Structure formats: structure tokens, C-alpha cells
Chain A
Amino acid sequence: MLDQKFFINFFKKFSEYIFDNKEYLTELDSAIGDADHGINMSKGCKVALEKIEGSTFNSISDMLKAISMALMSSVGGASGPLYSTIFMKMSISFNNKDNPDFNDLVTALTNALNGIKALGKANLGDKTMIDVWEPVVKELNSIVSKNESIVNEKDRLIVIAKESMNQTIPLLAKKGRASYLGQRSIGHQDPGATSSYLFFKALLENLE
């Protein structure tokens, strides 16, 4: 069931993955960026966790909004406004929906993807988080349009997220600090795509 507890557990799991991979994400970012993705995301998740653990919320929407604002105030790098937008768009999608179903979740994730595309103006293949988000959200939409169960397909979806993350390695960066490197960005896995894989892994594993 998609209740507040589900979303709290998801965010705890996502934060755990970010904390565990703090060094790894920073290492990836030091190759093609400003070496702060792991540090920034850890800081953001820590502040957001403190905020949700210390409060009670009237709705899923309010809780996701609190996460969004916490990430915006504490991350500092590009991932701040981007992840903040993801949670803000999800919050807006779940407005007045306290018992959302899987279709609502897919709609919320689709709105989140559209939000980060509009904000960062990145497209598929630009070596960004979109390279994980777009294929996963596309597959989620395809599953619900066929009235099939996301829960049954969750392992396959996690594999799609992981493969999409790996596929950023040969790409030439077109956005962000990495784009200044030009050809030298080729051969490195994108840090934003990596944290996006962790996002979907945490979200999908939790579904039952």
C-alpha cells in the first residue's frame, strides 16, 4: 500500500544508499565535475531525514514537500534544485490523494521527470540523471498502460535503471560542469545518473 509509511521508508532507504555511496558518488564527480555530489546529497538527505523524523504530517503531499524544501536548503549543488523539483512535483501530484495507487505513483514520477527536464533542459543522451529517469519512467508507463503490475516487474525495472546508469559511461557530457571537459568526459559514469539509480532502487525495492 502506498501510504505515508511507504514514502518514509523509501526516503530512509534512499538516504541509506546515498550515505553508503557518499565516497563513490564524490569520486565519480571528481572525475568529471566539482567533486561534491556525494557530500551534497548526503548533507541534503541528512537534513531531510531529520525534518521528517521529527514531525508528523497531515498528508503524503505535505511530507514530500518537506523533503523538497529540506533538499533545496541544504544541498548546495545542481542536485539541490533538481532533487528538490522531483519531490515538489511528486508532492503536487499527490495533493488531495491520501490513498494513491500505482497509477498515481507513475503519474507523479512522470511529472517529476518533466519537471527536471524543464529545469535542466537536458535530453536523453546528454549524460545526466535524465538518462536513468527517462527509460525507467517510460517503462513504468508502458506497464501501467497494459494494466500489468509494477510489483511483478520491479526487479526488471531496477535492472533497466542500472543498465541505463552504466550506459552513461561512453557518453559525451552536454550539461553542467562536466560539459566543460568535452571529450574528456567520455569514459566516466555520470554521478547524477548514479544517484538516480539509487533513487529508483530504493523506491522499487520497497513496493509490495
Chain B
Amino acid sequence: MIGMLILSHSNLIAKGLVETCKQMAPDINIEGIGGIEKRLGIDAELALQKLNEMLENNEKVVIYADIGSTVLSAKTIKELSSRPADVHIVDAPLVEGSIAGSIEISIGSDIDKIIEESKKSCFIEKN
């Protein structure tokens, strides 16, 4: 199985996205980390703990992050994790990308397909 970790500055965004992805893919292992002591930001050590926990239960973990410090934190925790080679930071928009990725995970797609479909989500036309 492939796990999904959502990282955001906002706890509400992280938790809200987990809820949204679970509606489409209820059985996947997905976790959301966001906010730091009720402020906007990211607790990278907490994110690292969660990532290592997820690596124990999954073959690989895909990370979706919002902007700036969250992306830097994602890169840092990948390097410090127990298996950096099995962690993939997905270069996709957070909301559209993680929803597309969660569906791919739920139907058993391989890592390349999950990343490809997540990336494509930035071309969804909205007007």
C-alpha cells in the first residue's frame, strides 16, 4: 500500500483535505499535519514522526505540501526519514493533486501513475 501525507500551514486545510480525500478513497492510509500551536505553520518534527510511522505500515509514502516552508519541511523530513528513497514529494497543486492521488492509490495504481495523475490535475479547466 502507498500512504499519503498532507502538509499545510493550516490545520484546517490539512484536516479538511483528509476528509475530502477520504470521501473518494475511504480505505487509504492518509494523514494531515498542519499548524503549530494554534498558529499558521508546520511542526516539522511532528511531521517527521508521522512520516516514519507511515513508512512502517506502507511500502511508500507520497507527500503533498502547500507552499514555502511546508515544501522545505517536506524535503527536510524526507531526508531525515527512515527510508528517503520511498518518500515522494509530489509536484502538484495541493487540493486537486491530493484528491487525484488518493483515487489512484485506492484503485491500486503504481507510484508513477499516482504522481502522473496528481501532476495532471493542474490542467483541470475551471472556466
Contact = CB atoms under 8 A, between A and B. Distances in A.
Contacts of A88: 80
Interface string B38-61: 011111111010000000000000
Interface in A8-51: 34, 36, 40
A85 interface: yes
Contact of B41 (A76, A85, A177): A76
B87 to A, nearest CB: 15
Contacts, number: 57
Contact of B39 (A73, A76, A79): A76
Contacts of B39: 36, 76
Interface in B36-88: 36-37, 39-46, 48, 67-69, 72-73, 75-76, 80
A85 B68 contact: no
A175 B45 CA distance: 24
Nearest to B46: A73
A84 B69 contact: no
Main secondary structure of the interface of A (DSSP, over half): helix
Contact of A73 (B43, B67, B72, B75): B43
A7 B115 CA distance: 43
Contacts of A74: 36, 43
A77 B43 contact: no
B63 to A, nearest CB: 13
Interface of A: 34, 36, 40, 69, 72-82, 84-85, 88, 119-120, 176-177
Interface of B: 36-37, 39-46, 48, 67-69, 72-73, 75-76, 80
